[in-house]
Amino acid sequence: MTPVTETDNTETATENPVDLQLQDRIATITIGTGRRFNALGLADWQALERACAVMAADESLNGVVIRGRGGNFCAGSDLREWENATAQDVDETFAQMERTMQAIEQLPMPTMAVIETIAAGAGCQLALACDIQISGESAKIGMPVSRLGILVPPAFAARLAERIGPSRAKDLLFSDRMLPAPDAAAMGLISTVVPDEDLDRTLKETLTGWNTVSAASLRTAKSAVNAALKQLTEQSRHTAVALRATDRVEFPQRVAAFLGRHKR
């Protein structure tokens, strides 16, 4: 969903964009191919939703980690799929993205996003769908969707507003800027920022903590907080997708212009 300007981490590339691994009562999903900052296509969002169904049924899990391949988190949706797509095709991709976000939010165990380099557009939403986020201090996060003529869905806007309030959410959506991770943490958009070199150590320490306490207590704590916030969040999730995901005139032109620039 967010423009990216180069092919990255080719040496770590894979053709498996949703890889689920289980170890020590923790599920780790690695997303992306290692190229294009792990931008995801429709099939990838569908695969991620299916992975959530597998994890939701596993009562042995104490937690879920979502991270990107090759030192990046996720730059959103793959714009190449939208170059010649119909408006209805794009609308369906947005509907699928929201189904995937809600599948993550509905997981009964704690979830964590590990943010490296970039979490933009749908990648930002993916991080916010998790219970907590740990980020390297050099990473950036944001929703620069206005540059493409995307009409932000209600649920996408709500995930921002629920964390940082309506004024800051509007300010972020009105612009196309990306927030440095320390700024995002200071306003409550993400939970924890650490030096890049400490990211894996902090992740390990957090997961060790999850595995030393009662799994039932973890799940109940998550459920209790979610129940307390239900009145705030429920309506936005029911009106998850706008009637149109994009400006019918500007969106095709802006996507074509972006892809044309980067094909040269």
Taking the C-alpha atoms of residue 213 and residue 229, their distance in angstroms, rounded to an integer, is: 24
pLDDT (mean) for 107-124: 97
DSSP run (H or E) holding 216: helix 215-238
pLDDT (mean) for 184-213: 96
pLDDT tens digit string along 165-189? Answer: 999 999 999 988 999 999 999 999 9
pLDDT at 192 over 70: yes
Q: At 31, phi and psi to the nearest 5?
A: -105, 155
Superfamily of domain 10-196+214-263: 2-enoyl-CoA Hydratase; Chain A, domain 1 (3.90.226.10)
pLDDT number for residue 49: 97
Domain residue limits, the chain: 10-196+214-263
Average pLDDT of the residues of the chain: 88
pLDDT number for residue 7: 42
Helices 154-164 and 215-238, axial angle in degrees (round to 10): 120
pLDDT number for residue 4: 43
pLDDT tens digit string along 251-260? Answer: 767 676 666 6
pLDDT number for residue 3: 47
The pTM of the full predicted model, rounded to 2 decimals, is 0.88
